[in-house]
Amino acid sequence: MNIYVCVKHVPDSAATITVEGKTGINEKITFLLNPYDEHAVTEAARIKASSADTEVIAVCLGKAAAENTLRAAMAMGADRSILIETDTSRDSIFTARALAAAIRSDGRPWMVFTGKESIDSEGMQTQFRLAQYLSLPVATNAIKVDADSDGVTVECEREAGTIDVYRMAAPCVIGAGKGLNNPNYPTFPDIVKSRKKPIKKIGTAELTIDTPVAGMQIQELVPAVEQHSPKALTGSPADIAAQIVDILKNEAKVI
């Protein structure tokens, strides 16, 4: 049985982002496996460990450098990878179509994992579109997954203190949330082993992807400007407290 894990190659959350051209960023910074995808890979590897004849396949739409992210996913437990190569940034409508096409051409999924969102474009939608194109049920922000051969019982955290329990027939799509597990950070031997695992590279032209009518195109990217100029609050704790109350009342007008 195949568990596909869709992963994204994203800038390190601590990296300095410099806008280049009108819509791009300087990519000479550290890129990593998207943090939520770490939970997705870890969960797929956990399920594989307790199921017979299961293979975990990481799938990524990205530029050539995304190979590093696939290596990271394989060091964390994926058995092999598919890199759908593109040389431009793609919106989630195209991305989900490409991922669906790559999965369809590779095999029949038991489960498809994604992260609940990517930390670069923060679109929060690829898993839903992927499910739609594959005609599968989907749940997101999963914090617990119990899988059997007919389906999956999944607990999803909707908001503070609210957990939804869903039953989905297999195959299905699951967006991994942070509460799902502690990522399997790889050991050195895992990394060495991952270097020998295969990556199949395909171009978007080799896949059957119908051209979407809809799209989301970045027209301009600008650095977020900071609008704060810090002023000190001084004096005794009681003085500071009084100044805070004054700010709340007279400046922010929230009380």
Partner 1 sequence: MQPIGLLIEFKSGHIKPANFGMATAARAENRQLVALMVDAPADDDKAALEAYGVTRIVNIHTDSNQWNPAMHAAAVVAAMQENGITTLIGLTSPAGRELLPRVAAQLDAPLVMDCIEIDLDDHRVKTSQFSGKTIATIAMTGTHFIYGMRANVIAPLEAPAAAEVIDFSYTANHPSGFEVIETRTDGSGSQYLAESDIIISGGRGLKNAENFKLIFDCARHLNAAVGASRVAVDNGWVPYAMQVGQTGVKVNPKVYMAVGISGSVQHFAGMKTAKTIIAINTDANAPIMAHCDYYAVGDLFDILPALEKALASMTR
Ligand X SMILES: Cc1cc2nc3c(=O)[nH]c(=O)nc-3n(C[C@H](O)[C@H](O)[C@H](O)COP(=O)(O)OP(=O)(O)OC[C@H]3O[C@@H](n4cnc5c(N)ncnc54)[C@H](O)[C@@H]3O)c2cc1C
Residue 13 CB partners (closer than 8 Å, separation 6+): 35, 119
- Residue 233 in the binding site for partner 1 (CB under 8 A): yes
Query: Which of residues 35 and 123 has its CB atom nearest to ligand X in the complex?
Result: 35
| 62: helix, strand or coil | strand
Query: Which of residues 205 and 222 has its CB atom nearest to partner 1 in the complex?
Result: 222
* Options 165, 187, 201, 206; binder of partner 1; rule CB under 8 A: 165
- Residue 13 in the binding site for ligand X (CB under 6 A): yes
Q: What residues from 101 to 130 belong to the interface with partner 1 (CB under 8 A)?
A: 119-125, 127-129
- Residue 231 in the binding site for partner 1 (CB under 8 A): yes
| 123: helix, strand or coil | coil
Binding mask 58-77 for partner 1 (x = CB under 8 A): --------------------
* Options 7, 139, 142, 145; binder of partner 1; rule CB under 8 A: 139
Query: Which of residues 44 and 100 has its CB atom nearest to partner 1 in the complex?
Result: 100
* Options 15, 35, 46, 202; binder of ligand X; rule CB under 6 A: 35
Angle at 56 between CA 49 and CA 212, to 5 degrees: 150
Smallest distance, ligand X to C-beta of residue 109, A: 27
Query: Which of residues 125 and 194 has its CB atom nearest to partner 1 in the complex?
Result: 125
Query: Which of residues 49 and 65 has its CB atom nearest to partner 1 in the complex?
Result: 65
Helical axes 126-134 vs 92-106, angle rounded to 10°: 40
Does residue 34 contact residue 7 with C-beta atoms inside 8 Å?
yes
Q: CA nearest 11: which of 77, 62, 83?
A: 62
Binding piece for partner 1, criterion CB under 8 A, among 67-75, 184-192, 201-209, 213-221: 213-221
Smallest distance, ligand X to C-beta of residue 104, A: 31
Q: If you search the block for the tokens 């410099």, which residue do you land on?
A: 18
- Residue 179 in the binding site for ligand X (CB under 6 A): no
* C-alpha–C-alpha distance, residues 131 and 187, integer Å: 33
Cα(first)–Cα(last) distance of the chain, in Å? 58
Residue 159 CB partners (closer than 8 Å, separation 6+): none
